[in-house]
Amino acid sequence: MTDTTSGTPQGQVSIARRISALAEPLIELLIRICGFSAIFFVFGIFFFVFSSGAEFMLHRLEFGEFLTSPEWYPTSVTNKRYGTLALMAGTLSVTSLAMFIAVPFGLGTAVFISEFCEGPFKEGLKITVEFLAAIPSVVWGFIGLAIMNPAIIKTFDAPIGLNVLNGGIILGLMSVPIIVSIGEDALKAVPDTYREASLALGATKWQTVYKVLFPAARSGLLAAVLLGVGRAIGETIAVLMATGHAVQIPSGPLDSVRTLTATIAAELGETAQGGDHYQALFAIGVLLFIFTFAVNLTADLLVRGIRNK
């Protein structure tokens, strides 16, 4: 930049320019560091969680038992067992039921909002879905505890209302907004020319949706579902309050279960820090991190797949 300002004292201009010449690279360095912060945090999380449980995991934990045994007895006096199969079954059962509810409703709403709605009505619906997403998980857990518990007991004549059904319904409702918003994004990403071409050939809107848009937005919709799954796997407080906490492999939706996340939350406080049980909980944390990482990676690759088309 040449010194072309006339009428301004030379000294002042050069000081200001000197400051900005110094400050700018510093600011840009700061920006660069912040840009890398996400990687730093993700690796940091994995590192800290892994290292807090590393000693136990690497020396004493039997991985076979850890992954395949349903017996979780970390505090037994004579026979400590660290099997997480029942806990994984808990997470799996609640997540499956949640997706069973969330996927049809979520995708259905995404299609409805994206293809069959216009203007203020559309905005209004989107805002309502955002409100649904904003409800804190502890409020959902409270609803499960206070409202759905007696409702399930009454409707199904169940012995207990804190079970897979309760947790599944709540998780489903919590996951719907993600599926709706990302599904809607995926549908929006399909070029209008597809729709126009289809309609021009005489198809109805609905036929366009399931014959043209679904296949075209297939990866994005799948990514939406996967992110919903990730949300459901990772939810802690709501399932802590609503699933009944029984370490068992459920035989039906009315059975109580315990998820991986709830196990950590419930037991972390009472363990002796650094002890075997404490480290075993961090091992579960590593397991959870791996699961959600895998789900998110798959979803990301899918979305990247559509972008590269």
Partner 1 sequence: MMRNSIVVRSTIAVACLAMVCTGCFGGDRSSRALVQNKGSDTLVNVAQAWAENYHSLNPNVGVAVSGGGSGTGFAALINDTVDIANASRDITIEEQEKIRKANGVEALEHTVAIDAVVFFVHASNPLDSISFEQLACIYAEGGTCKQWGDIGTEVPGCSGQEIIRVSRQSNSGTYAFVREEVLGKEIDFKLGSRDLSGSKDVVDLVGTTPCAIGYSGLGYGTDEVKALCIARKTGAACVTPTLATAEDGTYALARPLFMYTLGEPQGAVAAYLEWIKSPAGQKIVSDNGFVPLS
Partner 2 sequence: MSTAVEHHRFSATPVTEKSHRRQSAAKAFLGVSTALLLVPLAAIIGLLLTHGWSAITAEFLLDAPTAGMTAGGIYPAIIGTLWLIAVSLGVAAPIGIMAGIYLNEYAPDNWITRIINLAIVNLAGVPSIVHALFGVGAFVLFLGLGTNILSASLTLAVMTLPVIIASTKEALASVPLAFRHASWALGASRWQTIWNIVLPNSVSGILTGVILQVSRAAGETAPIMFTGAAFYLPFLPQSVQDQCMALSMHLFTVSTQVPNVPEAFPYATALVLLTLVITFNFLSISLRTYLRARRKW
> Which of 79, 269, 270, 272 is close enough to bind partner 2 by CB under 8 A?
269
223 contact partners, CB below 8 Å, separation of at least 6 = 182, 186, 299, 300, 302, 303
Under 8 Å between Cβ of 79 and 149? no
Residues in 147-206 at the binding interface with partner 2, rule: CB under 8 A: 147, 173, 176, 202-206
Q: Which residues pair with 73 in a beta bridge?
A: 81
Please check whether residue 219 is in contact with residue 142, taking contact to mean a CB–CB distance below 8 angstroms: no
CB 122, CB 112: distance < 8 Å: no
- For residue 144, which of 256, 264, 268 has the smallest C-alpha distance? 256
Query: Rule CB under 8 A: is residue 142 a binding residue for partner 2?
Result: yes
Q: How far is the CB of 129 from partner 1 (least distance, A)?
A: 25
Tell how far CA 206 is from the center of its chain.
Answer: 30
Binding mask 213-232 for partner 2 (x = CB under 8 A): --------------x--xx-
Cβ-based nearer residue to partner 1, 85 or 286? 85
Q: Which two tokens stand for residue 277?
A: 């049980």
Contact partner, 200, from partner 2, partner 1, none, Cβ < 5-8 Å per class: none
- Residues binding partner 2: number (CB under 8 A): 86
Residue 108 binding: pick among partner 1, partner 2, none (C-beta 5-8 Å cut-off by kind): partner 2
Judged by beta carbon, residue 184 or residue 255, the one nearer partner 1 is 255
Any contact of residue 74 with partner 2 (CB under 8 A)? no
Residue 160's binding partner out of partner 1, partner 2, none, with CB under 5 to 8 Å set by partner kind: partner 1
**Among partner 2, partner 1, none, what binds residue 63 when CB lies within 5 to 8 Å by partner kind?**
none
For residues 82 and 271, the answer to whether their CB atoms sit within 8 Å is no
Rounded (5°) CA angle 72-73-78: 150
Which of partner 2, partner 1, none lies near 237, with the C-beta cut-off 5 to 8 A by kind?
Answer: partner 2
